[in-house]
Structure 1
């Protein structure tokens, strides 16, 4: 029943009962949907890349403070066991950064696959429009 409703909706939206017009509109919608997905995925990749850069900056600052305790003492009051806190914090943020970097790599692979899929759909629509 859903297929029939979708077909009727496409026919109404196309303003025609011609199979060619209905199929063209259906293919155009598929391409439009794939483009919006690709755009969302690209934005998500940018967000994760920014997060990785942010985590790198935090790690660099913590390592700098850990290596030069006198600089850290200008900002915060340090106790004798705070060196361990720096080391734990660095390990914690590195683990998060490694996870985010791996996630980014996987998302970029998925983005490439989605781009190729979008390209194929656009080629098919162009061929169909040329008929």
Structure 2
């Protein structure tokens, strides 16, 4: 019912009398909203991908320091038991990285599904533009 009211408001504001004009306008509005959503999703995918790269770099540095304690001693004063801290830190950042990588995969799947939805909506707009 809410969508019907929105369609009627669109028709009234555009001074359209034809049902096909109302439907075309509604589908065009849906396409515009979907394009905005896709833009947001693409930006979020870039953000998450950058986070995965950053976490990979942190993990590589921690693994390097863990395997080469002399380098780690140049960076920080090591105490006994710090090798355990390195191992725990590596596991912690790997868990975060794996979570972010899975989130990125899911976002990319969602993005592809949203792109297919946009394509369908654009096809409907094209049909009503022909009428």
TM over 0.5: yes
- Matched ranges for 1:1-131 at <5 A: 2-131=2-131
When normalised by structure 2's length, the TM-score is 0.93
| Count of residue pairs the alignment pairs up | 131
Report deviation, 1:14: 2.1
2:81 and 2:90 map into 1 onto residues whose CA distance is 15
Point out the more displaced range, 73-82 or 16-25: 16-25
After superposition, the C-alpha distances for 1:42-81 in whole angstroms (9 at most, x for unaligned) are 1111111111111000000000110111111111100111
List runs of 5+ in structure 1 lacking aligned partners. none
CA contact (8 A) 1:14 1:21 kept: no
CA contact (8 A) 1:31 1:121 kept: yes
SS at match of 1:123: helix
Point out the more displaced range, 96-105 or 2-11: 2-11
1:39 and 1:80 map into 2 onto residues whose CA distance is 50
List runs of 5+ in structure 2 lacking aligned partners. none
Q: Of the two structures, which has the highest relative contact order with CA contacts closer than 8 Å and spacing of 6 or more?
A: 2
Report deviation, 1:17: 2.0
- Aligned-residue Cα RMSD (Å) equals 1.3
When normalised by structure 1's length, the TM-score is 0.93
